[in-house]
A and B are shown apart, each in its own frame.
Chain A
Amino acid sequence: MNDQLQRELTRAFERLSAGAPPPGLAEGALRRAGRTTLVRRVGAAGAALAVLAVAGATAATLRTTAAAPGPRTTAGSSTPATRPGTVAVTAYGCGGGRVDAHGQYVQDDSLLLDRTTGRYARVPYCQVLPSPDGRLAAVFRSGSERVGILDVASRQVRWIDGYAGRPAWSPDSRTLLLTGGPLVQGQAAKSDPANIGFVLVDVRAMRSQFHPVAEAANGFGSAAVFLPDGRTIAITGCACTPGATHEGEWPVTHISLYDLRGALVRTLPATQGLWSAAAFSPDGTRMVLGPQLQYGTVRVQVADVPTAAVRRSVLLPQDSAFVGWYDNQQLVVLTGVSDRTGRSARLVVVDLAGHPVRTVPLLGDPVARSAVDILLGPATGLPGTATATVF
């Protein structure tokens, strides 16, 4: 290379790279990482992508929704909703924490909908997963693998002894399903296949039953999810590449169905995964199968339950993540998720062609704006004075 070209090339790069970095990079990275690492932290089965799972809206709850769509509320304003809509945000979870206006990290700070008042309660947990009936919530605290069951009305928590894992509720709210296993000396024994599987916790009696399932340690991370029938548990299987560290290196190959005793019932071919109960349509006949990647261009599949036969492919709006179903014909996505300030984050209802139908702003609270988990439930039954995000 001649000297002139080399000199000019260096100059060109210097001109090309001029510009100050944007503010809030660390905060943005933590928010983004929180969305994808939360499940890794809480799941004894190992890492799993949080995109669909921690969005974790309880679709079983949505199945009970029968109300016609109501007028949109002014979310985040102090004006009470006069009439509930179809869907409400039941929790805003802060996930791995957030950075407040003073640059300090705030952990264990989430918003949980109290259905009796229609208002959000600030709760000291980093992850909250409301039960389909809204009376309980699975909760986590930062730095701990233990799973608690919060009584929303009394705010009392009962901690599950001996087991930990990624949570999912049964459709009847009676059983909490953990993808994980026994705790050994207070830690999830992730390296021992005999200790990986799923745990069924009878939340009334607080009795836990562990079923070892090797596949629960599969691939990029698995999430056991109840099918709408309440008798079948689905686990997404991936092709495992030893030493792989990137989510793209764990392609989804199938979805396995197990009975409640941990026996394999059926294996369905699949190319995208089932990560949470939020994937199920309100009528329980279809499910959204999603990619492992959370950001950028996201294409999801709408498939039959339980065969996983793909009926259509939906390209979600740019920079969005699937949150749940609005009704049997429309999905809810969270867009603007990579915005470091959270100001662009909003919910968008899209049709099954992926076209935006309407936009719903998030609650004005900083927790909502930086939430990594946005969970949906039915708006039915909320009091008329509800200030929750209802749409």
Chain B
Amino acid sequence: MDPEMRADFTAFVASRSASLFRTAMALTGHRQQAEDLLQTALARTVRHWERIRDGRPEAYVRTAMYRQCTTWWRRGRERPTDRLPELPGPDAMAGVDLSLALIAGLRQLAPKHRAVLVLRYLEDLPTEEIAEILGCGASTVRSQTARALDRLRQLCPDLTAPTAVQETSP
């Protein structure tokens, strides 16, 4: 990589690191893992920078993060535990802070489930774009989203009873 491309890459990271790190945090739920995940994805991006710099480098980094996250999980580097962290009881929970329970639940999800929820509810991406990033079909995205939400409800039984999941294409 020549100096110009290195400078170009550095500028890209400087301008997008906050957003990318936010995604990494949402995907991993742990600062250290998020740093490692983003660093790994950026290192991969460096290797292909010449090819992707004029395209959509941010999309490339995000895709690398989502796929890396799933790969780590498959290799056992990160495993969701069966046991939920201790949370306030139902009385204390009631109407106070649903997101605490959700955060705990999200940390228990398998990365692929978490990824599909991050893409939809944090990144607000349409199904087709999620499918492209995750390397699967739109129908898979819809079914994975439904499963992720179902699992989330199992993990957080104290959540307000949701209505039936109705996943539709945007």
Contacts and interface: CB of A to CB of B under 8 A. Distances in A.
Interface of A: 1-2, 4-6, 8-22, 25-26, 28-30, 32-33, 36-37, 40, 96-97, 99, 103, 105, 107, 142-143, 248, 295-297, 338, 340
26 contacts: A1-B149, A2-B160, A5-B149, A8-B102, A8-B159, A9-B121, A10-B121, A11-B102, A12-B98, A14-B122, A16-B26, A16-B106, A19-B22, A21-B17, A21-B18, A21-B20, A26-B9, A26-B13, A29-B9, A32-B43, A33-B46, A36-B43, A37-B46, A143-B2, A338-B36, A338-B39
Contacts of B166: 1
Nearest to A13: B122
Interface string B112-146: 00000110011000000000000000000000000
Interface residues of B, number: 52
A5 B106 contact: no
A13 B1 CA distance: 36
Nearest to B9: A26
Interface in B7-25: 7, 9-10, 13-14, 17-18, 20-23, 25
B38 interface: yes
Given A16-B106, A21-B21, 11 more contacts: A2-B163, A25-B13, A26-B42, A28-B42, A29-B39, A29-B42, A30-B9, A32-B42, A96-B1, A105-B7, A338-B39
A19 B21 contact: yes
Contacts of B42: 25-26, 28-29, 32
B31 interface: yes
Nearest to B35: A22
Contacts of A11: 98-99, 102
A10 B10 contact: no
Contact of B46 (A30, A105, A295): A30
B3 to A, nearest CB: 5
B165 A28 contact: no
B103 interface: yes
B45 interface: yes
Interface string B53-93: 00000000000000000011001010000000000000000
Given A12-B106, A29-B43, A5 B77 contact: no
Contact of A32 (B17, B40, B71): B40
Contacts of A18: 22, 25
B9 A2 contact: no
Most chain A beta-carbon neighbours within 10 Å: one of B7, B10, B17: B10
Interface of B: 1-3, 6-7, 9-10, 13-14, 17-18, 20-23, 25-26, 29, 31, 34-36, 38-40, 42-47, 71-72, 75, 77, 98-99, 102-103, 106, 117-118, 121-122, 149, 159-160, 162-163, 165-167
B14 A26 contact: yes
B18 A295 contact: no
Contact of B31 (A14, A19, A25, A40): A19
Contact of A30 (B6, B75, B121): B6
A33 B118 CA distance: 27
Contacts of B6: 30, 97, 105
A295 B36 CA distance: 10
The 10 closest A-B pairs by CB, nearest first: A29-B42, A21-B21, A33-B46, A12-B102, A32-B43, A26-B13, A17-B26, A12-B99, A17-B25, A13-B122
Contacts of A17: 22-23, 25-26, 122
Contacts of B163: 1-2
A298 B47 CA distance: 22
A28 B121 contact: no
A385 B121 CA distance: 63
A9 B43 contact: no
A9 B117 contact: yes
A13 B106 contact: yes
Given A8-B99, A297-B77, A248 B71 contact: yes
Contacts of B34: 19
Contacts of B45: 29
A18 B28 CA distance: 12
B40 A295 contact: yes
A15 B39 contact: no
Most chain B beta-carbon neighbours within 10 Å: one of A4, A22, A36: A22
A29 B46 contact: yes
Nearest to A106: B3
Nearest to A18: B25
Contacts of B102: 8-9, 11-12
A6 B120 CA distance: 10
A22 B166 CA distance: 38
Contacts of A338: 36, 39
Nearest to A21: B21
